Amino acid sequence: MSSFDLFKYGLVLLLPAAYLARRYTRSAAPPPAPDTAPADEKPVKSIMQAPRDDLAPPKDDPFTLEQLKEFDGSDASKPIYVSIKGTVFDVSAKADVYGQGKSYNIFAGKDGSMGLGMSSLKDEHAVPDYRGLNDADRKVLDDWHGFFTKRYNIVGKVIDHPVKESPNVETAEENPTSNL
């Protein structure tokens, strides 16, 4: 028998043995992925808040649209209010979003229902009269109302709101069986 033949037989016997040994000795779970984030980097914080379970019972204190302007975040001693469809919410806990000079301050101290429904941050759209919204935009507005209802204290109602309808429209988020 030549040395080449010995090499072939050795290969034929060793390869299956090596395969079986590797298969039975490696762990079932894959190794964890290495942590590539730098130690000083903070995790990304979502701007979407989870629903709260510590909200106060809703109030129905009356506000006029003019009175609502006092709560626009320009006076640090006053809360920040946002009205949607005539429901006034205290958003002071998110002053970093609704406070003076912040991204959504356009809605602070007013009812900006039309702008919320249109997903617009233009000043001319941040008005209370949302009757011109199409069905899709009205659904967006209803979803915003549901979102705020679950996350912010209701402190009152706008008594001179131009649209006189109940703001308690059920959204799919509030009642998932409503679409069945």
Q: What is the tens place of the pLDDT at every residue in 8-29? A: 666 666 677 666 767 666 655 5
Q: Does some domain include residue 25?
A: no
Which CATH number goes with the domain that contains 108?
A: 3.10.120.10
Neighbour count for residue 112 (Cβ, 10 Å): 25
Check residues 47 and 118 and name the one with the higher pLDDT: 118
Percentage of the chain exceeding pLDDT 90? 61
41 pLDDT tier (thresholds 50, 70, 90)? low
Check residues 116 and 51 and name the one with the higher pLDDT: 116
Q: What is the tens place of the pLDDT at every residue in 109-124? A: 999 999 999 999 999 9
Tokens representing 105 are 């301050």
**For the residues 50-78, what does the mean pLDDT come to?**
94
Q: Does some domain include residue 36?
A: no
Q: Does some domain include residue 115?
A: yes
Name the CA radius of gyration of the chain, rounded.
30
**For the residues 98-106, what does the mean pLDDT come to?**
96
Place of tokens 């980097």: 41
Count of domains forming the chain: 1
- SS3 category, 111: strand
Above 50 in pLDDT, residue 173?
no
Residues paired with 90 in a beta bridge: 81, 153
* Contact between residue 71 and residue 81 where contact means Cβ atoms under 8 Å apart: yes
Q: Does some domain include residue 97?
A: yes
Cα gap 170→178, rounded to integer Å? 8
Cα gap 176→85, rounded to integer Å? 22
Q: Does some domain include residue 77?
A: yes
Burial 81-109 (b: 16+ CB within 10 A, else e): bbbbbbbbbbbbebbebbbeeeebbbbbb
Neighbour count for residue 4 (Cβ, 10 Å): 8
**For the residues 133-161, what does the mean pLDDT come to?**
97
Q: Does some domain include residue 150?
A: yes
Range(s) of the domain holding residue 132: 61-164
* pLDDT for 7: 66
Neighbour count for residue 43 (Cβ, 10 Å): 6
* pLDDT for 158: 98
* pLDDT for 103: 93
Above 80 in pLDDT, residue 52?
yes
Neighbour count for residue 68 (Cβ, 10 Å): 21
Q: Does some domain include residue 47?
A: no
Report DSSP state, residue 153. E
- What's this model's pTM, rounded to 2 decimal places? 0.66
